[in-house]
A and B are shown apart, each in its own frame.
Chain A
Amino acid sequence: MSPAQAAEPTRRTAGRGYSARFHLLDRQVVDPDGKPVCNVDDLDLAHDEHGRLCVTAILVGPAALAPRLQGLPARWLAAVTRRMSISRTEDPARLSMNHVTHIGAVLTAALPEGHDHVHALEDWMRDNVIGRLPGAGHASG
């Protein structure tokens, strides 16, 4: 292990292996300041030039979570998500894997400016419902 890797043991470096279930799925994603961004609900995969599957993005939200559930709960969640969706597509929000710099107890992502809106429904509820309630401006959080 190089000194740089020893200093930053969670930095993404060639050769490191991960269990999808243990190291990635349901882990929290934070920005470099430690501020929570989202959770890993699923991963988007694509074939590389050698025909191998690689992770291209983290998928976020109930639309991403639904296929991971089995049977009726999966179909129910997908149906509710379709009815509650405020975006024009049914695709889940995604965060490019290129932004993820560290994979440890949490995933750290260096987000570009303005790329902090992965919870579209939550943002809409805050702006249009919660934010208009009397006293909302005094909320501590």
Chain B
Amino acid sequence: MRLADLMGARVLEPTGTEIGHVSDVRLVEQPTPDETGATVLRIEGLVVAAKRRTQLLAYDHRPVDGPWPLARLARRAARHARWAPWETIASHQLPERLGDAATIRLKCPATELSLLTDVHHQWASERARA
């Protein structure tokens, strides 16, 4: 499986309703069990953009605090985006032919997912601690 199989994939609720597409994938370094200090890059979850064509202006990985016109634009672009932790992913179906979007089905409705803007600051504090 490749990252390209996740990026741009259609995201469906358990009922089959499409809620958007995967705009980004968040990865976090995890220590390996062998205690050598080495890490593996593990997928933590998916950023789901509400609109098919929205790319969230590449500001979907951190909060934008300024300059204010850019911050307002970024908040507006990401206001409907959701954060889907990997635990909420029920299934992933590859496309039938190259170039088509894959399909991801969630275990829960979109309303149970956190808003991306709410988890941004949590990520920023985790990054500062790391």
Contact = CB atoms under 8 A, between A and B. Distances in A.
Q: Do A and B bind each other?
A: yes
Interface of A: 1, 5, 12-25, 42-46, 48, 52-55, 59, 64, 66-75, 78, 97-98
Chain A, interface SS category: mixed
A90 B26 CA distance: 28
Contact of A53 (B42, B61, B98, B126): B42
Interface stretch (B3-11, B67-75, B76-84, B107-115): B3-11
Nearest to B127: A17
Interface of B: 1-5, 7-8, 23-31, 38-44, 58, 60-62, 86, 97-101, 123, 126-130
B39 A13 contact: yes
B29 A21 contact: no
9 contacts: A12-B39, A15-B130, A16-B130, A18-B27, A21-B60, A45-B1, A67-B4, A67-B98, A74-B99
B42 A25 contact: no
Most buried by B among A13, A25, A67, A74: A67
Question: Top 9 nearest A-B pairs by Cβ distance?
Answer: A19-B61, A74-B99, A15-B130, A67-B4, A20-B25, A55-B41, A43-B3, A14-B31, A53-B43
A13 B1 contact: no
